């Protein structure tokens, strides 16, 4: 009887243990699997954003520099005179020095020019490096680009220049057009593909994922181990081959999804990069982690079978130890996971806060503490705390944009529209407004199932140095490299903006032309001509205020646009400029007399837009030259 009771008791206890262990294992398995998926999705999306913005920063500069060079009158003049002076050493040295100057200033691996008339390839180090011939596979990029309708393009190729050791290089090529629209040549810059590979390698080592840039056909252009120099289709024999068409056809929004095929499992984030016309693909292969979870589950079942034998002998003691061990392992694992994730995330962001948008409140103690540090009482609704933050920390001109972007209403609308993120750049202070610096907030919006709420993770990132570089680059792009004044495009844009913003105000539009400048160039050469232009530009600049628009719009043609309170002052200024800009120029070896002819148009009487003012001032300039130059005419 006792034996039957013991057997029944043991069977009952073993059944309870087996069922309990199986239930615990299944719950733990699905819970860990869910956490794994959330973490993989989060890290993959953050990585995609990080790499995308770094790529955008890396390529913006060389694209703009190539476009600037393609519109440089010096290059166009060189190509125009090339056939008649192609054996002139001084002529060739001028171009070599020009290319070398860009190379040294921006530290690119390659700076080159190709003439469509002679197919000569000019290089900053070797001068005339080679002549490109049709039919040579190494020159296909050149002839394909000439046939293409695009004005600028990227390609990855080996650098054939004699001094480049055939290094794999990313080239940014731009067409140079003549006045009648014909292609005169191709100019470009290049930098080693290793620049991007290092970025990819850093993320792969940190987060155990893979990053690719692929073209519109799916061929790998850049990864840590491959480049577009050798054709490799990313979608050949992979677990997400069936998604190829959908990935490559989407060019508007970021895509993300899980895939499972051919024994592979993982998560993909894809984003189109418009400037490169390539797709950024972040692949997080979770096959090994998923298999590890499955093995843990199966091993747990095996362990319970072994444990049951011992439980039958010392059931109570084993149960207590086993339960304690499970609890400790789970807690430690969760702590280690959270610590590792927090450490890696804090490397990228200054602060991270969580907001419960649905219930209009802070969703973590850290967020609540941040609100309190700014004088917000505990348990204050999120929208009221947002107002306090804007008032205490955000620079005034950014407050409305900050409040509109991160308001409860806008966050919920963004989520309902199917978008998962918000971003806003602004200036912030931590010392009561004495100093400000640039901050970027990137917010990820998600649905929290536990309480059926829409939540927002807020990532704060100091981007002060990045903004400084952007503003410095914008300023450089507006300036003419020879004179230091505004270039033609910037001059036109600034004048149009002033006319639009202050309609009806009186402005004076000056066109200044150096008298007999062609003779200076022909007599003393372009080097002296460039010195005269630079010296002339500085003398003009000294006659006006910092806020006045002073630009160089042609070879020896300058434009000044300034407020004018009366016709008498305009005439007085024109007369003064005629006197100041009549002077002897010398550099020690060369002496020549410089003077200027000026045409003036006054807005709004002589026009209310740039084109009309320029035309009328140019007519006045023509009359000055008819009268013998060295003077001025007011339209």
Spatial contact of 286 and 257, defined as CB atoms under 8 Å apart? no
The fold adopted by the segment(s) 71-192 is: Beta-Lactamase (3.30.450)
Residue 539: what pLDDT?
Answer: 93
Enter the pTM of the model.
0.39
Under the banding of pLDDT at 50, 70 and 90, the label for residue 236 is confident
Distance from C-alpha of 171 to C-alpha of 62, rounded to nearest angstrom: 9
Highest average pLDDT, of 11-25, 55-69, 327-341, 601-615, comes from 601-615
Question: Which tens digits make up the pLDDT trace of 40-99?
Answer: 888 878 887 878 777 776 777 888 888 888 898 888 888 888 888 888 888 888 888 998
Say yes or no to pLDDT of 362 above 70. yes
Highest average pLDDT, of 197-211, 238-252, 286-300, 587-601, comes from 587-601
Q: What mean pLDDT is predicted for residues 2-14? A: 66
Highest average pLDDT, of 117-126, 221-230, 237-246, 348-357, comes from 117-126
Residue 36: what pLDDT?
Answer: 74
Say yes or no to pLDDT of 342 above 50. no
Question: Which tens digits make up the pLDDT trace of 533-557?
Answer: 999 999 999 999 988 999 999 889 9
Q: Indicate if 479-634 has the same CATH topology as 351-469.
A: no
Q: How far is CA 372 from the centre of its chain?
A: 36
Residue 542: what pLDDT?
Answer: 93
Q: What mean pLDDT is predicted for residues 111-132? A: 89
Cα distances from 312 to residues 1, 8, 305, 324, in angstroms, run 18, 12, 11, 19
Higher pLDDT, 231 or 600: 600
Residue 324: what pLDDT?
Answer: 64
Spatial contact of 164 and 110, defined as CB atoms under 8 Å apart? yes
Q: What is the mean pLDDT of the chain?
A: 84
Spatial contact of 552 and 487, defined as CB atoms under 8 Å apart? yes
Q: Where are the beta strands (DSSP E) in 194-277?
A: 210-214, 220-222, 255-261, 264-273
Under the banding of pLDDT at 50, 70 and 90, the label for residue 338 is very low
Q: What mean pLDDT is predicted for residues 307-324? A: 69
The kind and range of the H/E element at 579 are: helix 567-580
Give the dihedral of Cα atoms 465, 467, 468, 469; nearest 10 deg: 90
First to last CA, the chain: 125
Distance from C-alpha of 77 to C-alpha of 550, rounded to nearest angstrom: 24
For the chain, domain boundaries: 71-192, 351-469, 479-634
The token duo for 522 is 């022909």
Distance from C-alpha of 184 to C-alpha of 459, rounded to nearest angstrom: 49
Distance from C-alpha of 583 to C-alpha of 539, rounded to nearest angstrom: 10
Span of 236-250, 484-498, 503-517, 577-591 with lowest mean pLDDT: 236-250
Distance from C-alpha of 7 to C-alpha of 97, rounded to nearest angstrom: 97
Spatial strand order of the sheet with 127-131 comes to 127-131, 120-123, 110-115, 183-192, 168-177, 152-158
Spatial strand order of the sheet with 210-214 comes to 220-222, 210-214, 278-285, 264-273, 255-261
Cα distances from 1 to residues 5, 8, 10, 313, 460, in angstroms, run 6, 10, 14, 19, 72
Say yes or no to pLDDT of 333 above 70. no
Residue 534: what pLDDT?
Answer: 93
Q: What mean pLDDT is predicted for residues 405-433? A: 89
Q: Options 3.20.20.140, 3.40.50.1820, 1.10.760.10, 3.30.70.270; which CATH number does 479-634 get?
A: 3.30.70.270
The fold adopted by the segment(s) 351-469 is: Beta-Lactamase (3.30.450)
Spatial contact of 378 and 368, defined as CB atoms under 8 Å apart? yes
């Amino acid at each position: 009887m006792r034996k039957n009771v013991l057997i029944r008791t043991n069977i009952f206890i073993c059944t309870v243990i087996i069922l309990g262990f199986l239930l615990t294992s299944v719950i733990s398995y699905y819970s860990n699997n869910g956490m794994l998926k959330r973490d993989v999705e989060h890290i993959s999306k953050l990585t995609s954003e990080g790499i995308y913005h770094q790529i955008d920063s890396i390529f913006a500069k060389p694209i703009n520099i190539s476009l600037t060079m393609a519109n440089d009158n010096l290059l166009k003049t060189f190509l125009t005179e090339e056939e008649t002076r192609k054996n002139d050493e001084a002529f060739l040295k001028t171009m070599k020095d020009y290319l070398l100057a860009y190379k040294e200033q921006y530290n690119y691996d390659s700076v080159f020019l190709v003439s469509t008339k002679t197919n000569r390839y000019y290089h900053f180090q070797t001068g005339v490096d080679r002549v490109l011939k049709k039919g040579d596979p190494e020159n296909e990029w050149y002839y394909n680009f000439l046939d293409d309708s695009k004005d600028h393009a990227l390609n990855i190729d080996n650098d054939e220049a004699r001094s480049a050791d055939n290094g794999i290089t990313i080239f940014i090529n731009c067409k140079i057009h003549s006045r009648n629209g014909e292609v005169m040549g191709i100019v470009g810059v290049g930098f080693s593909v290793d620049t991007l590979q290092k970025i990819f390698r850093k993320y792969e080592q940190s987060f155990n994922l893979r990053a690719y840039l692929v073209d519109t056909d799916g061929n790998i252009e850049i990864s840590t181990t491959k480049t577009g120099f050798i054709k490799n289709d990313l979608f050949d024999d992979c677990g997400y081959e069936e998604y190829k068409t959908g990935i490559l056809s989407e060019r508007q929004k970021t895509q993300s999804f899980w895939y499972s095929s051919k024994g592979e499992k993982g998560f993909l984030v894809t984003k189109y990069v418009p400037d490169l016309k390539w797709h950024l693909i972040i692949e997080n292969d979770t096959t090994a982690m998923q298999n590890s979870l499955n093995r843990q589950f199966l091993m747990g079942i095996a362990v319970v079978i072994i444990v049951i034998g011992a439980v039958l002998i010392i059931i109570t003691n084993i149960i207590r130890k086993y339960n304690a061990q499970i609890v400790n392992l789970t807690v430690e694992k969760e702590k280690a996971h959270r610590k590792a994730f927090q450490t890696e995330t804090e490397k990228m962001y200054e602060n991270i806060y969580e907001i419960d948008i649905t219930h209009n409140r802070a969703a973590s103690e850290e967020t609540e503490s941040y609100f309190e540090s700014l004088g917000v009482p505990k348990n204050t609704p999120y929208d009221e705390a947002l107002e306090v933050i804007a008032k205490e920390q955000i620079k005034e001109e950014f407050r409305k944009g900050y409040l509109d972007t991160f308001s409860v209403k806008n966050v919920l609308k963004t989520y309902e529209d199917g978008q998962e993120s918000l971003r806003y750049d602004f200036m912030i202070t931590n010392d009561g407004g004495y100093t400000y610096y640039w901050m970027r907030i990137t917010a990820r919006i998600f649905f929290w199932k536990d309480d059926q709420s829409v939540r927002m993770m807020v990532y704060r990132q100091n981007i002060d140095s990045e903004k400084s570089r952007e503003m410095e680059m914008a300023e450089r792009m507006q300036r003419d490299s020879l004179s230091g004044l505004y270039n033609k495009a910037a001059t036109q844009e600034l004048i149009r903006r002033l006319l639009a913003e202050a309609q009806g105000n009186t402005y004076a539009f000056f066109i200044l032309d150096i008298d007999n400048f062609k003779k200076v160039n022909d007599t003393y050469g372009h080097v002296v001509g460039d010195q005269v232009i630079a010296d002339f530009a500085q003398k003009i600049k000294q006659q006006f205020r910092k806020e006045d628009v002073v630009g160089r719009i042609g070879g020896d043609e300058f434009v000044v646009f300034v407020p004018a309170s009366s016709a008498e002052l305009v005439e007085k200024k024109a007369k003064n400029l005629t006197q100041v800009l009549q002077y002897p120029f010398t550099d020690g070896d060369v002496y020549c007399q410089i003077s200027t002819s000026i045409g003036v148009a006054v807005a709004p009487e002589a026009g209310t837009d740039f084109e009309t003012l320029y035309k009328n001032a140019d007519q006045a300039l023509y009359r000055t030259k008819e009268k013998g130059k060295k003077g001025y005419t007011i339209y």
